[in-house]
Structure 1
Amino acid sequence: MFLSKNKLRYSLYFIFICLGIVMLFFLVKKLQELYNKVSIICILKNETNICYINAPVQLLFASVKFRNFILNHVKHNDSRIANLAKLFNQMIQHEKLDPLPYYKEIFKDNDQIKFNSSKGKFSQSTFEIVKLYVENFNEPHFFFDFVWHKPILINRNVFIYVNQPNKFLEPLHQRIKNCKKDEPMPEIIIFHLYGDAKCDEIKVPEIITVFPDISYKLQSQMIKTSGKDKITKVPIMHVYSNVKIGQKWYKIDDSHYEEIEDVNEKVFRNNETTFLIYER
Structure 2
Amino acid sequence: MTTNKWSIHPVIVAAIAINICALALAVAWSGNETRMFTLLHEDGIVEWMQFLCFTVIAAMLAYVAIDRATRLPRSTLAVLGIAGISLVVALAAMEEISWFQRVLNVPSPDFFAVNNRQAEMNLHNLALGKGSIHKTILLKLIVLIGLVHNVVLPLLARSRPGIRRFVESLGLYLPPLTASFAYILLVILSNVLIDHPRKGELGELFGATHYLSTAFAAYVIGSNYDSPALIEHEVDARKVTVLFIMVMAFLVLMAWMLTSVSRMGAV
TM (norm. structure 2) is 0.25
Q: Which structure: greater helix fraction?
A: 2
Q: Which structure has the larger Rg? A: 1
> Which one has the bigger strand percentage?
1
Q: TM-score, normalised by structure 1?
A: 0.24
Q: Which has the higher contact order (CA 8 A, sep 6+)?
A: 2
